[in-house]
Amino acid sequence: MLHKALELLPELWTRAGSLDEAIVAYRRALTKPWNLDPEKLASIQKKLGSNLLYGGGGIEMSHKAAGLRTTENNTEEAILLFLILMRK
């Protein structure tokens, strides 16, 4: 039930027209250890990448890890997500 909610919340934000909130919801779903099966995880990554490319103009990450390389913008993050998906 919880796994379905992880997929539906970003969809609801997208349909409501709030792409910023949808992207944040997708990121939350991907950063927590929910034990999603690989197909659902790939689906969430694909939808996040699509929203980042086509909808999210300048939404920044909420936190930056010290010493780790993070993406500079949404386009870079989307491309990295799609490259990860292609390797799976």
Amino acid found at 71: T
Q: Which two tokens stand for residue 4?
A: 């379905």
Structural domain contains residue 44:
yes
Structural domain contains residue 9:
yes
pLDDT confidence tier of residue 77, bands split at 50, 70 and 90: confident
Single pTM value for the model: 0.75
Structural domain contains residue 51:
yes
| CATH number of the domain within which 55 lies | 1.25.40
Structural domain contains residue 40:
yes
Structural domain contains residue 15:
yes
Structural domain contains residue 25:
yes
pLDDT confidence tier of residue 47, bands split at 50, 70 and 90: very high
Amino acid found at 78: A
Give the chain's domain count: 1
Structural domain contains residue 64:
no
Structural domain contains residue 65:
no
Q: Which of 9-18, 33-42, 66-75, 77-86 has the lowest mean pLDDT?
A: 66-75
Q: What CA–CA distance (Å, rounded) separates 10 from 26?
A: 6
Place of tokens 């920044």: 60
Range of the domain at 26: 2-59+70-87
Distances (CA, A) of 62 to 24, 42, 57, 75, 86: 9, 22, 15, 16, 26
Q: What CA–CA distance (Å, rounded) separates 82 from 17?
A: 24
